[in-house]
Structure 1
Amino acid sequence: MELFAVPDVPEVRPGDDLAATIRDRVDLHEDDVVCVASTVVSKAEGRLFDLADFPAGPRAREIAANLEAVAGEEKDPRFAQAVLEESVDLLMESPFLLTETRFGHVGVNAGIDRSNVPDHDLLLLPKRPSESAERLRADLPADRVIVTDTCGRPFRHGQRGVALGWAGMQASRDWRGESDRDGRELGVTVESVVDELAAAANLLVGEGDGGTPVVVVRDFEWGDHGGSDNLYRDVEGDFVRQAVRAWGYEHE
């Protein structure tokens, strides 16, 4: 397959027609996968806010005070309030905030961004990224769209691209019941294709000021496999989440 960034994407503003912006800059094929950074999706959807929009309640002030004690630097309780309002579950509150968003993604600070936001303090993730992907798909010649973001991973340094929402394809490719080269039946292998494509796209999107938030994946073939949309683990079977909940951070 081939990946290439869509050139000359301008600064996206609230209310902009993001699909038209993409269509005007690239000749898309029907079977392309269009990977769009959540940053520009959020901007088009008006998910820009200021800290003043989140007056801090008692819980947010408590969290900010604890983080300040750990980090040794001032923490704004209004940011903690924004994180709380964007989350349905607070897994860790020290030494950083690890939360579950309303659409199931687990990440630091509910994915709230403070970079590449020229006129505001905060950029929140799209409310429902798969619905965002579906709207883009409806207005693009391509049949498959992935809304991407970057986040860290347990047990490894560094960030990588992940899928927040998708449309026109299933999230995971299921290899269970198929055989390896020695004829052994695969029993557990479910491949998170949308995450893999998001990570590949992120190599071109980058993390700085490159201005390439849209990447086209061409000639990706799903193959003769089953699939599912079960990207996020159920809480009952997520043993890492259970362990994190039971763990408490101690600092001197």
Structure 2
Amino acid sequence: MELFAVEGLPEVRPGDDVGELVAERVDLEEGDVVCVSHSIVSKAEGRGVDLSEFDPGPRARAIAERIGELAGEEKDPRFAQAVLDESEELLTEEPLMLAVTRFGHITVNAGIDRSNVPDSELLLLPEEPSASAERISETLDAPVVVTDTSGRPFRQGQRGVALGWAGVPAARDWRGESDRDGRELGVTVEAVVDELAAAANLLTGEGDDGLPVVVVRDFEFGDHEPHDGLFRSSGGDYVRDALREWEYDKQRLRDSDEDESDGDHQ
């Protein structure tokens, strides 16, 4: 398998056809998978907005005030309102807004971006990333994965993840297959589109590279049962249930910071 970035894409504007822009710059082969950063999809779909478009309500003002107090700097309640408007639910309000988007993805600040947005202050995620992937896939006649970067529980740093996909299953279902010792696998479902998105992110980068599209060539799904359930449903998601009950303990954080500081001097 190999991956390469598509060169020469222009700054995408509202109304642009992302599929056509890609098709003009690369000759795809049968079996290619095209990974597209959500940023150009969102721009093409007119998802760039300004803070002035949001009128913060009492909840947004309270959230901004609490997060600002923790951060030691003033936070704009209009941004908090934007996150609320783009969310089905906030699992946490402080020290960060961990949002469940309307299409099932869970991420900080509902995935609202402030970088590489020349024509507006904010860039929202596509409303329906899998529908966006389907439209691009129809133009290119190739599978498409719409990607973003996201932080991870229990680990530092961000990695690429899939927001939407078309023409390729989300996952390989290994359940019922056997390992090398003949033991039957009972729980393994491999999130293929996330793995493709993470691989593509090595080329798209995080700064000013200007390479939002990556082609994956010679990827083979293999003889596995396909599975499309990438986002966990609310029922049975124990981490989500725990977060709903969790309350942020500012004093405990201060005590933890002091303990770490003491340890640094020992």
For the criterion TM > 0.5, the same-fold answer is yes
Which range is displaced more, 52-61 or 124-133? Answer: 52-61
Residue equivalent to 1:90: 90
2:145 alignment partner, SS class? strand
Aligned match of 2:45: 45
Give distance in 2, aligned partners of 1:158 and 1:227: 29
Residue of structure 2 equivalent to 1:34: 34
**Structure with greater Cα Rg:** 2
* TM-score computed with the length of structure 1 as normaliser: 0.98
What SS does the corresponding residue of 2:34 show, helix, strand or coil? strand
The aligned amino acid for 2:220 is: E
For the residue of structure 1 that corresponds to 2:157, the secondary structure is strand
Give secondary structure in 2 for the equivalent of 1:236: coil
- Which residue matches 1:240? 239
For structure 2, list consecutive stretches of 5 or more residues without a partner in the other structure. Answer: 252-266
Equivalent residue number for residue 173 of structure 2: 174
Rounded Cα–Cα distance in structure 2 between residues aligned with 1:185 and 1:229: 22
1:141 CA displacement: 3.3
Partner deviation per Cα, 1:163-208 (whole Å, 9 max, x = no partner): 0000011101000100000000000000000000000000000000
238-247 or 217-226: which moved more?
Answer: 238-247
Correspondence 1:21 to 2:21: yes
Identity fraction in percent: 69
Alignment-mate amino acid for residue 119 of structure 2: D
**Count of residue pairs the alignment pairs up:** 251
1:68-94: CA deviations, max 9, x gaps? 111111000000000000000110000
Q: How does 1:103-114 map to 2 (within 5 A)?
A: 103-114=103-114
Higher share of residues assigned helix: 2
The alignment partner of 1:231 has SS state of coil
* Cα deviation, residue 45, structure 1: 0.4
Q: What residue is the counterpart of 2:127 in the other structure?
A: 127
CA distance in structure 2 between the aligned counterparts of 1:204 and 1:110, rounded to whole angstroms: 24
TM value normalised by structure 2:
0.93
Give secondary structure in 2 for the equivalent of 1:235.
Answer: coil
SS in 2 for 1:139: helix
My pick for the range that moved more, 122-131 or 27-36, is: 27-36
- Does residue 151 in structure 1 map to residue 129 in structure 2? no
Q: Give CA-to-partner distance per residue, 1:30-88, whole Å, 9 cap, x none.
A: 31100000000000000000000011111111111111111111000000000000000
Specify the code of the residue in structure 2 equivalent to 1:97: M
**What SS does the corresponding residue of 2:235 show, helix, strand or coil?**
helix
Amino acid in the other structure paired with 1:62: A
For the aligned residue pairs, the C-alpha RMSD in angstroms reads 0.7
- Following TM superposition, where does structure 1 have runs of at least 4 consecutive aligned residues deviating by more than 4 angstroms? none
8 Å Cα contact 1:29-1:141 kept in structure 2: no
